[in-house]
Amino acid sequence: MGTITVPEANLLDREGFVRTFGSVYERSPWVAERAWGERPFEGPEELRRALWRAVDEAPRGRQLELIRAHPDLAGRAAVAGELTPESEREQSSAGLDRLSPGEYERFTSVNAAYREKFGFPMVVYVRGRTKDSILAQAEARLANTREQEVETALEEIQKIAASRLQELIASEEEGGRR
């Protein structure tokens, strides 16, 4: 995956911008499309804030669509090889692609309980976490209210998006695409 500088991003037409940044938010290119209108961006942080503002200002139904666009952790999509490349890398970084049968069963169980209670998948920023810490967080979050979980999911999505954006944006010194 190549990188791009913010000045280069500012020059992209809508289609190019969405093609470049559309995967920052899981299967939700509408976020990049909305943020495109805020160009020019002075730097990476301003671009990140514009993307987040698109989510933050979206109607609750659109935010729920964004949450539902995320796969279950170590779920059927992972087993079937249907994850986006970004989700596959992220889940792999936490070892979710290397579960024992017992661990897989625990994830399947917590995913089902979570979906049943809240109506959407549990979203967790998994980088730097272990399978055990993710399961512990998942089990603890089952005690939350639906509104708490919507807010928590959106916060976790922001962390995921910031990480994905950081991988796409080159510093000015790096000179952009390689």
Question: What residues are labeled active site?
Answer: 70
Buried b (16+ CB within 10 A) or exposed e, 102-112: ebeebbbebbe
Nearest residue to 2 via CA among 127, 164, 169: 169
The amino acid sitting at 110 is: V
Nearest residue to 152 via CA among 116, 110, 123: 123
Q: What are phi and psi of 169, to 5 degrees?
A: -90, 125
Which residues, including other chains, have CB under 8 Å from residue 132's CB and lie 6 or more apart?
A: none
List the structure tokens of 14: 């809508």
Residues in the chain: 178
